Amino acid sequence: MNAAVVRQWLYGLAAAIGLAGTWYFNLSYRGSQGYLAAWFANDASSSAAVDLIVVAVVLSVFMLAEGRRLGMRMPWLYVVLGFVLAMAFAVPVFLMLRERVLEVRRRAEPDAGRV
């Protein structure tokens, strides 16, 4: 098993954990304040919320640009999935599929240095 395949499996595992973990807590939230208001309930949660928001925006730009650069179908879908389901799911899925595209390209390129 080559390194690209190992990365794909790790990204897939991370996506599954990210989806299950985030939605477990999303569905079990029973707070009296709104869900987004709870993000900013105290300094610790506000720090985590700002951290996630900034990373989500930056990764969204990256996924759009990289997806287009590599000719991936519907790169905007990963951004939508990130904001609807979880960035902890969408980013590893994007990276897994990106790894597949790169692996297909590597296999299609002739070995220029071979004698």
For the chain, give every domain's residue range.
3-26+50-108
Would you give the end-to-end CA distance of the chain in angstroms?
Answer: 25
pTM for the structure as a whole = 0.88
Give the pLDDT score at 36: 86
Phi-psi region of 12 (alpha: psi -120 to 50; beta: other; left: phi over 0): alpha
Structure tokens at 32: 């009296």
Residue with structure tokens 């390209």?
105
67-82 confidence digits (pLDDT tens): 999 999 999 999 999 9
4-52 confidence digits (pLDDT tens): 999 999 999 999 999 999 999 999 998 888 888 899 999 999 999 999 9
Q: Cα angle at 64 between 58 and 65, to 5 degrees?
A: 90
Rounded Cα distance between 19 and 43, Å, is: 25
